[in-house]
Structure 1
Amino acid sequence: MSRFSKKAFFASLALMTFASQLMAAPLPLPGSSPAPLPKPALEDTQQPLPSWTVTRTFEQLGRATDTLLLGINSAEQVEFSVRRDRIASDARLQLEYTASPSLIPTISHLRVYLNDVLMGVLPIEKDQLGRKTTQQMALDPRLIADFNRVRLEFIGHYTDICEDPANNTLWVNISRASSITLQEQALSLKNDLAFFPLPFFDPRNTGKLELPFVFAANPTLGEQQAAAILASYFGSQSNWRGADFPVLFDTLPSVQSKEATQPSIVFATNDHRPAFMSDLEKFPAVTAPVVQLIDHPDAPYSKILLVMGRNEDDLATAAKALALGGNLLRGQKATIDKVEALQPRKPYDAPAWMRTDRPVRFAELITYPQQLQVSGLQPRPITLDINLPPDLFVWRNQGIPLRTQYRYTAPSANDDSRLNISLNDQFITSLALQRKNTSNLEELRLAVLSNDSANANDKLIVPSLKIGDRNRLRFDFNFASTVGSAQRDRCQTILPANTQAIIDEDSTIDLSGYHHYISMPDLKAFARSGFPFSRMADMSESIVVVPGSSTPTQVSTLLEAVAGISARTGYPAFGLRLSNDVDSAVKQDADVLLLGQMPEDMRDNPDLSLLLQRQRDMLVQPYSNAGIEQSARRGPSVDEHSQPATRVEVSAQAPIAAIMGMQSPHHNQRSIVALLGNDDADYALLRETLADTGKLNAVAGSVALIRSSGVYSQLVGDNYFVGNLPWWLLLWYQLSEHPVLLAVIAVISVLLSAFLLWRALSWAANRRLKDD
């Protein structure tokens, strides 16, 4: 996760922090004893509460690189959070830094603040100049709330007279290996569903979600479907954190001690329930969909969520209610009366994707307050993440309108202060920040097809060929200022102004009017965006085919695959359908996600380039892999480079898995994506790949082969297209791959037009002669 994504996450919890600080105990006055922190409703227990030590480096907290504090950019803060069901009993800061060798020792120092309260001062000693130094400082745990900020301020001096704050000798480098260590203690919350999704998921936790699911042996399709719906909800909530769903049959997760705090979810019907629920007096049969929160029998601090019903339909209803109506739940046990969909989803309406049917205001794209506002002579960049459907067709488009409005503090003179705009780290334009008219809203325009300078009264056009499924729009305000004197005998120091800049929330970007058309198979679109299953945010046009008898690892693969798709759409898969009959599934007008082995009747498909069997593995090789490098948006050309050239068959015992994409044999606009494996070791490779961003980025083409050494992708066979284009645009798009044919058609068109024009003129001349 990038630095700015984590900053967005932490800043989005600012409102939660405010509420938490209102509940926190006031700071003690000098000479008084500290007031105890208020506690949530706790259960009475005589056992010691579990506690553990948690250490997070600055890199894990969003600082991907070292931080350089300067004389004019002297402060930086690091945010961290604490789960709502935990409290910090002790806290320490370990700071690794390197100070400039030109500093004056002792009077140069670092101030450390926790939540805007001074924790201490670290003087820079003589023996520390120019050397890496490690120092520890205690942080007051009474100040730690849900969301916290550690701020570092650098006060540096290099001379005792006529000091220039912008002098390049004033610096201290804060290492990203610096860390914050917390002694966290669990809070024993009551069994109250009002806290849901706690303790199963907490948005304050930046780590990967791990949530065990428990079934009776041989879970049915309906039970797996209900679990997939609930897993997709947690996947949509966990987002960039990722999620693991270990699966167990007939038993609860084992605990290391009675202080364990691992929650889990159990699915049970009246006729099919795990073995530990066999006691009908303790777990009576239900007459409606029911969710209940209980303690783990071997660990009182671990919670278990029971999802129960009379049958499989009740389980699906309960799972949907947890995802949709969690705010209505309260008490230890709740009965679900009704869950009804009032309006069906529409294609491409995923909450995590930007709207493409109208102009979108920047206010709809921000993830935390004040994201569009910065301050300082060297302010941080303003960034906006723009996620788009991967099949958005922007081929040979003139550009995407970007109406940008901004305000900034007036510079002291018309100097080199500028606003730089870039997209996906590719420079677009640079605009001068003038001294006049800084309080007005301005509109910009960048001429894409010429070298004209930007006009401050037009619209900015973002080069459309640089747009992908994940984009980052970046605005860099750079202020030039004179803050010192160049005369040695006349000392004059000017403090830099508190410069501020803002991109107005009413700025817009317009992607309306674009068509949806993509070359398939394209496993990169599946790996990065969950396409084509994410086309409908609720996966209502998707069918997942699972083996007739599933193992725990296979069920885990199902849950994590569906949760990964929902993480990319930001919406649970309420419309998901499960089947164990691949023949009937591929005949339906739906995209198919296949788990397991390739069916016998599909192995003769001419596009099939991979076959994994228990006895023998077969792989068809193309001439080269150049086709994979071509943009799936433009479509690979089918030539000798993508046609099969050789066939390799291997027998081996080590695990191997694959992800494969192909066209549905019954519907031209539908696709099949197969997650192929034979045993649990193969599925473990699939799960590892689905959870690893680096490995997912290597998935591309039509086949991705997964081994312990990594992912190997290739493109074999014919491509097909999904989506629709107007006939004239489709004609130009198809002819663009054949320039000679296009030239011949152009010549024929010119000759035919000339001939028709000559005939028309001849007819007009003959008619005029007859009239005379």
Structure 2
Amino acid sequence: MTEKIRTPWRAAPVLAAIALLSAPLSGPGSALAQPAPAAAAQPEAFSATGRSYQVTFRQLGALFPLQLRGVQGTGGVQFGVRGDEVVTRARLHLNYAYSPALLADISHLRVLVNEQVVATIPVPNAQGGQALQRVIDIPTRLIGEFNRLNVELIGHYTMECEDPAHTSLWANVGNDSVLELSVDPLALANDLAFLPEPFFDRRDSRPLNLPIVFAGTPDAAQLEAAGTLSSWFGALAGFRGASFPAAVGQVPPKGHAVVLALGAQGVPGLNLPAATGPSVDVVSHPDDPAAKLLVLRGRDAQELKRAAAALAVGAPALSGSSAVFSEFKQIEARKPYDAPNWLSRDRPVKFGELVQADMLSVAGYSPDLIRVNFQVPPDLFAWRKQDIPVHVKYRYTPQNGADKSTLNINVNEQFLRALPLRAADYSPPGRVQGWLDRALPAPMLASGDLLPAEDFFRVPLFKLPARSQLQFHYYHEIKKEGACKDVLLDNVRGTVEPDSTIDITGFSHFLAMPDLAAFGNSGFPFSRLADLSESAVVLPPKPEQGDLSAYLSLMGLMGNVTGYPAHAVTVALGSGQLDALADKDLLVIASSAGSPLLEQWAEHLPFSLKGDARSFRLSDYASRLLNWWDPDQRDRVRPGRNAIAFTSTSSDAVIAGFESPLQSGRSVVLLTSNQPAGLQQAITALLTPDLLKHIQGSAAVVRGKQVDSLVAEQTYHVGSLDPLTRVRWWLSRHPLALIVLGVAAAAVIAFMLYITLRARARARLQKG
């Protein structure tokens, strides 16, 4: 891969100016299993020189209110500032409450940004126990690229001897507290070396919204190139989520965007020379000096696809304002279930591969949880209660004697087990050991006073949705020494070792379908191959803007769940090419219920949307299930038996799954609506965790912010089992067949015994 480079102007001094006091912290979502709903993001307010926006503590990672306990309890959130912006004003709207037992003269709350105090809040007794709010201005000089905002309780309830862990020492900070930032844009150089910035900035914890512009009406190959890009950015966005509004022939008036141009196609206001090969450029926005456009060009659609794939896998190697790809080696095909974001099925996976090492250590008597996020393929076969083995290694500060300290292990906030923390052994070291300690101090300092331990345990597979989290909580018992003797030394530490492992090897892949929960959470069955090489997206012959936006956002979702660009997906416009796609799983998008394809497949659909007329098939059994996603219960789900028809002018969207009419064992997932606005509602539901959890079964209806699963039938299976397991599993689901086989086996055995005994009797008579 070679590149043709234009000389850019640099903005390094300007970028360095905003790096003051930046904290070396990880992203705000690294400790979370699920993000805050993308739909909850506050709208931005633009001014002549910049813009202002608000984010809540919940959006910054605090899923629950901050609980401050003890004489010095601390809690907080992380936030970042984009590299192309500088903060001109920062303001905190703090919602809080505190114990009425606190002594006002010697107790207070402190607000810190990057360990620097920005405000001290008094705690008068008259306001104790009330819901309070305070607005705090934060000096902008303290704010860097990555920042930590903490609220600290300095609490005392008596002037005499006090218990440092007394229950009256508390304060709560609401996760609805708001951080308000006003920013001005920074002019960046047109340099590919900044990629993926400024189009995606990892410092920004808000959902990514990146328009993708087609210079002309796109064909299937151009859409495949755009799908590669949206899935790449979707993978980068991670916990934030991403959406990709589509436009044809017009660049949005403000903000960053991606432009795809074919041959001599141009975009109004954008001066681009004719393409000389697969290339990528960063240019300034013609109407917004603070924004950039990422322009991909090719002389034909295949060159455009090559440029998109080269950018998705080779962005870190690029520099300059323009690059022309003269050579690009074909990307190696992916293997089933090898998505970078999924646990490997070929070997045990170390915790250090799933989370940064510094997130595996905690300190203090009331430490935060150690969280390990991971994703499992949704079709792991869990019959007969198969469990996932976990080998955890950990170290901790031991107590002087036996106590009730434990390491508590949860999965997705469900308790699994508690491991006792053994007391220290204080037998003095021998003379030889003392010499070794003085001669080799470094290895001894590496472990410090932490006592190593390890344990094996198993996690029931039915407790693991596609996206899961292991949670480790150190509980250190506080020993009561008596009045005026209780002194807490902040010297307790705990860690989970990065070489701890979780192992899903040896599991079969077999799943009852359709299963919209598997599609919404993991993109299954399309994500079985991370590059989507066995998947096809079917769009209308003349897709509207809503169809294009839905397709791009779905490709972003695929990249998000796999962590890999979907560069091998096939796009078909209309139903004329369906026969050639029989061996693929199909994702069908239609913003009009009058699509010829829907009429052709009407007998396979559990619904009908024609104009204002609607009809749906219903499952009476599924409506009574409390936890229908439990594998044991899902095996008993029955097809829909009831139906309802009515007339309405609402813009409903339907997400449905069924077996492909083209080939058994292949799947179809359909997103459709009777109005274009309804299709965007379906995409919003898939991108919003609070709505996504309601998308289950084989058909779900989306009406605004309400999602209802109407049908939970399962008509086919995907995957494979070994022959013996397959027979045993089939017999377990058909007890009558098992009885018949048992009776037949008894009859055969009886007949054989009868023949044998008659032969022996006959032989005895002949001898007599």
Corresponding residue number in structure 2 for 1:300: 289
User: Could you tell me how far apart the structure 2 residues matched to 1:252 and 1:190 are?
Assistant: 20
Corresponding residue number in structure 1 for 2:262: 269
Which whole-Å deviations, capped at 9, do the CAs of 1:556-592 have from their partners, x for residues lacking one?
Answer: 1110111112111111101011112435335431111
One-letter amino acid of the structure 1 residue matched with residue 301 of structure 2: E
User: Could you tell me how far apart the structure 1 residues matched to 2:52 and 2:640 are?
Assistant: 56
CA separation of 1:738 and 1:26: change in aligned 2, threshold 3 A: closer
Native 8 Å contact 1:661 1:673 kept in 2 = yes
Corresponding residue number in structure 1 for 2:330: 341
- 1:402 partnered with 2:396: no
Match of 2:413 among 425, 444, 454: 425
One-letter amino acid of the structure 2 residue matched with residue 242 of structure 1: G
Corresponding residue number in structure 1 for 2:502: 509
- 1:411 partnered with 2:407: no
Q: Secondary structure at the match of 1:405?
A: strand
**Worse overlay, 427-436 or 600-609:** 600-609
Corresponding residue number in structure 2 for 1:196: 195
CA separation of 1:724 and 1:302: change in aligned 2, threshold 3 A: same
Corresponding residue number in structure 2 for 1:364: 353
Match of 1:730 among 721, 726, 733: 726
CA separation of 1:464 and 1:212: change in aligned 2, threshold 3 A: closer
Which whole-Å deviations, capped at 9, do the CAs of 1:187-243 have from their partners, x for residues lacking one?
Answer: 111211211111111111111111112223432222222111111111111122122
Corresponding residue number in structure 1 for 2:95: 96
Native 8 Å contact 1:267 1:273 kept in 2 = no
Match of 2:313 among 324, 342, 351: 324
Structure 1: 5+ residue stretches without partners: 1-19, 28-47, 256-261, 445-458
User: Could you tell me how far apart the structure 2 residues matched to 1:485 and 1:718 are?
Assistant: 64
RMSD: 3.1
Report how far residue 653 of structure 1 moved.
3.4
Native 8 Å contact 1:607 1:717 kept in 2 = no
Report how far residue 414 of structure 1 moved.
0.9
Corresponding residue number in structure 1 for 2:27: none
Report how far residue 539 of structure 1 moved.
0.5
Q: Secondary structure at the match of 1:300?
A: coil
Give 1:572-587 correspondences, 5 Å limit: 572-586=565-579, 587=581
One-letter amino acid of the structure 1 residue matched with residue 112 of structure 2: Y
Give 1:175-194 correspondences, 5 Å limit: 175-194=174-193
CA separation of 1:111 and 1:632: change in aligned 2, threshold 3 A: closer
User: Could you tell me how far apart the structure 1 residues matched to 2:612 and 2:156 are?
Assistant: 73
Report how far residue 81 of structure 1 moved.
0.9
- 1:467 partnered with 2:464: yes
Give 1:621-700 correspondences, 5 Å limit: 621-626=618-623, 630-631=628-629, 633=631, 636=634, 641-646=638-643, 648-700=644-696
Give 1:142-161 correspondences, 5 Å limit: 142-161=141-160
User: Could you tell me how far apart the structure 1 residues matched to 2:390 and 2:745 are?
Assistant: 38
CA separation of 1:184 and 1:645: change in aligned 2, threshold 3 A: closer
User: Could you tell me how far apart the structure 2 residues matched to 1:184 and 1:702 are?
Assistant: 46
Report how far residue 470 of structure 1 moved.
2.2
User: Could you tell me how far apart the structure 1 residues matched to 2:498 and 2:96 are?
Assistant: 38
CA separation of 1:771 and 1:394: change in aligned 2, threshold 3 A: farther
Corresponding residue number in structure 1 for 2:38: none
CA separation of 1:623 and 1:103: change in aligned 2, threshold 3 A: closer
One-letter amino acid of the structure 2 residue matched with residue 508 of structure 1: T
Corresponding residue number in structure 2 for 1:745: 741
Q: TM-score, normalised by structure 1?
A: 0.84
The count of residues paired between Structure 1 and Structure 2 equals: 702
CA separation of 1:315 and 1:401: change in aligned 2, threshold 3 A: same
User: Could you tell me how far apart the structure 1 residues matched to 2:52 and 2:642 are?
Assistant: 57
Give 1:126-275 correspondences, 5 Å limit: 126-255=125-254, 262-275=255-268
Match of 2:479 among 458, 462, 482: 482
Q: Secondary structure at the match of 1:413?
A: coil
Report how far residue 128 of structure 1 moved.
3.6
Native 8 Å contact 1:107 1:123 kept in 2 = no
CA separation of 1:194 and 1:203: change in aligned 2, threshold 3 A: same
Q: Secondary structure at the match of 2:236?
A: helix
Native 8 Å contact 2:512 2:714 kept in 1 = no
**Worse overlay, 331-340 or 538-547:** 331-340
Report how far residue 55 of structure 1 moved.
3.1
Which whole-Å deviations, capped at 9, do the CAs of 1:669-722 have from their partners, x for residues lacking one?
Answer: 211111123442232333333332232222222222233362232227661010
CA separation of 1:746 and 1:471: change in aligned 2, threshold 3 A: farther
Report how far residue 744 of structure 1 moved.
4.3
CA separation of 1:111 and 1:86: change in aligned 2, threshold 3 A: same
One-letter amino acid of the structure 1 residue matched with residue 325 of structure 2: I
User: Could you tell me how far apart the structure 2 residues matched to 1:375 and 1:575 are?
Assistant: 46
Report which structure shows greater RCO (CA 8 Å, sep ≥6): 2
One-letter amino acid of the structure 2 residue matched with residue 654 of structure 1: S
Which whole-Å deviations, capped at 9, do the CAs of 1:258-282 have from their partners, x for residues lacking one?
Answer: xxxx1112111124443445xxxx4
CA separation of 1:182 and 1:655: change in aligned 2, threshold 3 A: closer
- 1:288 partnered with 2:277: yes
CA separation of 1:130 and 1:755: change in aligned 2, threshold 3 A: same
Corresponding residue number in structure 2 for 1:595: 589
Native 8 Å contact 2:71 2:156 kept in 1 = no
Which whole-Å deviations, capped at 9, do the CAs of 1:511-554 have from their partners, x for residues lacking one?
Answer: 10101000111111111111111101011111111111111121
User: Could you tell me how far apart the structure 2 residues matched to 1:342 and 1:555 are?
Assistant: 26
Corresponding residue number in structure 1 for 2:528: 535
Match of 1:563 among 548, 552, 556: 556
**Worse overlay, 167-176 or 587-596:** 167-176
Q: Percentage identity across aligned positions?
A: 35
Report how far residue 424 of structure 1 moved.
2.6
One-letter amino acid of the structure 2 residue matched with residue 195 of structure 1: F
Q: Secondary structure at the match of 2:479?
A: coil
Which whole-Å deviations, capped at 9, do the CAs of 1:403-433 have from their partners, x for residues lacking one?
Answer: 1222111123211111222223322222221
CA separation of 1:396 and 1:717: change in aligned 2, threshold 3 A: closer
Report how far residue 326 of structure 1 moved.
1.0
User: Could you tell me how far apart the structure 1 residues matched to 2:204 and 2:712 are?
Assistant: 42
Corresponding residue number in structure 1 for 2:614: 617
Report how far residue 131 of structure 1 moved.
3.4
Report how far residue 73 of structure 1 moved.
5.6
CA separation of 1:517 and 1:153: change in aligned 2, threshold 3 A: same
Q: Secondary structure at the match of 2:228?
A: helix
Corresponding residue number in structure 2 for 1:31: none
User: Could you tell me how far apart the structure 2 residues matched to 1:90 and 1:421 are?
Assistant: 42
Q: Secondary structure at the match of 2:604?
A: coil
Q: TM-score, normalised by structure 2?
A: 0.84
**Worse overlay, 313-322 or 693-702:** 693-702
One-letter amino acid of the structure 2 residue matched with residue 91 of structure 1: A
Which whole-Å deviations, capped at 9, do the CAs of 1:624-655 have from their partners, x for residues lacking one?
Answer: 4349764485585688x525444x44444332
User: Could you tell me how far apart the structure 2 residues matched to 1:273 and 1:758 are?
Assistant: 90
User: Could you tell me how far apart the structure 1 residues matched to 2:467 and 2:569 are?
Assistant: 25
CA separation of 1:473 and 1:291: change in aligned 2, threshold 3 A: same
Report how far residue 351 of structure 1 moved.
1.0
User: Could you tell me how far apart the structure 1 residues matched to 2:328 and 2:633 are?
Assistant: 42
CA separation of 1:542 and 1:485: change in aligned 2, threshold 3 A: same
Q: Secondary structure at the match of 1:325?
A: helix
User: Could you tell me how far apart the structure 2 residues matched to 1:166 and 1:669 are?
Assistant: 60
CA separation of 1:302 and 1:335: change in aligned 2, threshold 3 A: same
Which whole-Å deviations, capped at 9, do the CAs of 1:736-772 have from their partners, x for residues lacking one?
Answer: 1233432443454456457657877998999999999
**Worse overlay, 628-637 or 694-703:** 628-637
Native 8 Å contact 2:21 2:144 kept in 1 = no
Native 8 Å contact 1:49 1:187 kept in 2 = no
User: Could you tell me how far apart the structure 2 residues matched to 1:26 and 1:650 are?
Assistant: 62
User: Could you tell me how far apart the structure 1 residues matched to 2:101 and 2:636 are?
Assistant: 63
